[in-house]
Amino acid sequence: MNLLGEIDRTDMQSMVDAFPEMLQITTLTQEFRQSIQLAKKDNIEGICLLGMGGSAISGLLTKGVIHSDVPIISVRNYSIPKFVKQSWIIIAVSYSGNTEETLLSLREAKKKGSTCFAITSGGKMRTEVPSNRTHVLPKGFQPRAALPLIFSAVFPTIELLLGKEHIDLKLIAAQLKKTQKQWGTEIRKPEDFAQFLVGKIPIFTGWSHLFPVAYRAKCQINENAKAAAFYSELPEVNHNEIESVLTFTEKKLVPIFLRSVHETRRISQRFDITHDIYKDYGCEPVSIKLRSQSKLEETLAITHYLDRVSVNLANIIGVDPINVDRIQILKKRLASDNETI
Ligand code: F6R
C-alpha cells in the first residue's frame, strides 16, 4: 500500500491525522547509513543541526529525548558558532531546500571542512552535499506538515551517529495510533480543546523534552490558525513569568501546562504549586497529560494532539490552515535582492 499517495497534501487535517503513518514511511537508504558509519570513524565532537521553522522542529524534538555526552546544538540563523569545528557533524534540514539561513550556514560549515549531511525534498540544497549524504524527502507537503517525515530521518541519523540503541519508530507509531483513539476519553477531543482556545492566547509551558513540544505548539497555532500563542519553560517560568499572572485574565492569556509522566518529584511540585498560585489570581491553567512509555512517545503524542488542535482552531476561526501568505510575501520580498544565495 502506498501510504504517501493516500495522503491529501492540500488538506492539513488529513496530513495531521496521518502523523503516525508518516512517521514510518521513510527509512534511511543503505548509502546514507554507510556515510554515517564512515563519519563516525573520526571522533565526533558535536552535532550541529541547521534549519529554520518547520524544518528545525525535528532536531529540537530529537535533542530533547536523546541523552548524550556529545553536545547537540540547533542553529536557526545565517551562521554557525565559532566552536563548531571540522570535528563536528552538520545536519542541514530544509524541506524546500531553498531557505537562505540554512543554505548559508551550511556553506560556512562546508568551508570549515565539517562532514555535512542534508535532509531536503529538493531545491538548492539537493546539490550542496554529495548524494550519499543527502536524504531526499517526498515533495508536496508544507514543511511543518512534513514533521513526521523529517523526524523519521533526523532521529535515526542522530541515533546512528551517537551509536545509540535503535528505537523502531514503527512501534512508536503504533502507540500514537492507540493514543489517537483515546482523544475524547483520556483527553478532551482536539475540536473541543480548540473551541476552548477561541478568543484566548495560549502560553504552552513545558519541562525538559516537552519544552520543544511547547514551542512546536506555539508555531502550529501561529501558522495553522494564524493566531497568537506563546511558549515557556518550567522551572524558568517560576523565576519571571509567574509575576505576570496578574495580567493573564485581562489579556485572555491561558497557560497550557504540558505535563509529563516522567517528571521528577520536584518538577511535579513546581507545576502543581504554580497551578495553585495562578488559580489564586483568577487564572485557570489547563494541563495536558498523555499516558506514555517513553519520553519519545510522549513527545510525539502531545505534538500530534496539539498539531490537530491547531488545525481545528483554524477551522473554527475560519482561516486556511495550509497557506502561510505572510511567510511567502516576506520570502518573495527578500528574494528580490538575493545576491546572498
Ligand atoms: C511552513 C513552515 C515554515 C518553513 C520555514 C523554512 O510550513 O513550517 O516554518 O519551515 O520557512 O522553510 P524550509 O522548511 O523549506 O527550509
pLDDT per residue rounded down to tens, the chain (341 residues): 467 878 899 999 999 999 999 999 889 999 999 999 999 988 899 999 999 999 999 999 999 999 999 999 999 999 999 999 999 999 999 999 999 999 999 999 999 999 999 999 999 999 999 999 999 999 999 999 999 999 999 999 999 999 999 999 999 999 999 999 999 998 999 999 999 999 999 999 999 999 999 999 999 999 999 999 999 999 999 999 999 999 999 999 999 999 999 999 999 999 999 999 999 999 999 999 999 999 999 999 999 999 999 999 999 999 999 999 999 999 999 988 876 67
Residues 6+ apart with CB under 8 A from 212: 57, 60, 61, 63, 64, 206, 299
Q: How far apart are CA 244 and CA 49, in angstroms?
A: 34
144 Cα to the center of ligand 1, angstroms: 6
Distance in Å, CA 21 to ligand 1 centroid: 21
Residue range(s) in the chain whose domain bears CATH number 3.40.50.10490: 4-167, 171-317
The ligand 1 atom at the shortest distance from the C-alpha of residue 144 is 8
Nearest to 120 by CA among 104, 101, 99: 99
Residues 6+ away with beta carbon under 8 Å from 134: 32, 117, 118, 119, 120, 125, 126
* 293 vs 295: CA distance, rounded Å: 7
Report the nearest atom of ligand 1 relative to the CA of 142: 7
Confirm or reject: Cβ of 15 under 6 Å from ligand 1.
Answer: no
Best CATH choice for the domain 171-317 from the list 3.40.50.10490, 3.30.420.40, 3.40.640.10, 3.40.1010.10:
3.40.50.10490
Q: Which residues are catalytic?
A: 223, 239, 331
Closest CA to 121 of 92, 94, 151: 94
Asked if 152 contacts 25 with a C-beta cutoff of 8 angstroms, the reply is: yes
| C-alpha 120, offset from chain centre | 16
User: Is the pTM above the cut of 0.85?
Assistant: yes
For ligand 1, say whether the CB of 99 is within 6 Å of any of its atoms.
yes
* Residue tagged 517526498 (cell numbers): 138
Of the candidates 330, 117, 335, 310, the one whose C-alpha atom is nearest the C-alpha of residue 216 is 310
4-167 under CATH 3.40.50.10490, yes or no: yes
User: H/E element holding 88?
Assistant: strand 88-94
Instruction: Tell the residue number behind the cell numbers 524546500, with chain if given.
Output: 96
- Is 273 close to ligand 1, i.e. is its CB under 6 Å away? no
Grid cell, residue 251, equals 489579556
C-alpha 115/C-alpha 99 separation (Å) is: 20
> In residues, how long is the chain?
341
52 lines ligand 1 (CB under 6 A): yes
Of 50, 78, 95, the residue with max ligand 1 atoms within 8 A of its CB, to mutate for a pocket test, comes to: 95
| Sheet strands side by side (includes 134-136) | 72-75, 46-50, 88-94, 115-120, 134-136
